[in-house]
Amino acid sequence: MNSFISALGNLLKKPVTVKYPFEQTYKPDDYRGLIGFEESLCIWCRRCEAACPPGAIVFSQDMEGKQTYHYNRAVCIYCHECVRSCPKEGAIFQTAEPAPCALKAENINNGWNKLFDEAIESRELYAAEKKRKTAEKAAADKAAAAAKKAAEDKAGETPQ
Ligand code: SF4
Ligand code: SF4
């Protein structure tokens, strides 16, 4: 009998569930939402990328050395580690904005894996090119120094 009364009581109560996403659920003050990035404050140290457990951040680099930040909200686990590891306050930050659903059309997982690999490769290419240019410059400087020394030695020779 008690259960019957309890069941009847529940029928008259407001549902405890909400019609998400049409109705928003409770959000605490320290809710961890999407990660934001402020390019003007970034010093491009990539500590956020290194600290990110699932690999939701990656930086690509062009042949002039300019880096570009990439973030995948569907890979992010909202752990705050990137923000904690950043030496420049405000360069990367946690917003209170919930992540929108990932759409199939975005090809978010396979597309991200490809972008991630290409970003790492772009940095390797830049590093290799920088190394090549440094070696080339060192060789040119060495040749110029040898030529200068030869010229000085010749100028210093006493006539017979
Ligand atoms: S919140 Fe965590 S998972 Fe998300 S980007 Fe930052 S470090 Fe990576
Ligand atoms: S850790 Fe901060 S400063 Fe360094 S690359 Fe990431 S956002 Fe930029």
Tell me the residue range of the domain where 26 lies. 17-145
* Residue ID of nearest Cα to ligand 2 atom 1: 86
Site residues for ligand 2, CB cut-off 6 Å: 42-48, 85-88, 91-92
In a domain, 43, yes or no: yes
Q: Which amino acid is at 71?
A: Y
Q: Which ligand is nearest to the CA of 91?
A: 2
In a domain, 160, yes or no: no
In a domain, 87, yes or no: yes
82 in Cβ contact with 35 (< 8 Å): yes
Q: How far is CA 31 from the centre of its chain?
A: 21
Q: Can you give the pLDDT of all 160 residues of the chain as single tens digits?
A: 788 888 888 888 888 888 887 887 788 989 999 999 999 999 999 999 999 999 999 999 999 999 999 999 999 999 999 999 999 999 999 999 989 888 888 788 789 999 999 999 999 999 999 999 999 999 999 999 999 999 998 888 756 5
- In testing the pocket of ligand 1, which one of 31, 34, 76 has its CB within 8 Å of the most ligand atoms? 76
Torsion of CA 150, 154, 156, 159, to 10 degrees: 160
In a domain, 63, yes or no: yes
23 in Cβ contact with 87 (< 8 Å): no
In a domain, 24, yes or no: yes
Distance CA 82, CA 52 (A): 6
**Count of structural domains, the chain:** 1
Q: 155 C-alpha to center of ligand 2: Å? A: 55
Q: What is the CATH number of the domain that holds 135?
A: 3.30.70
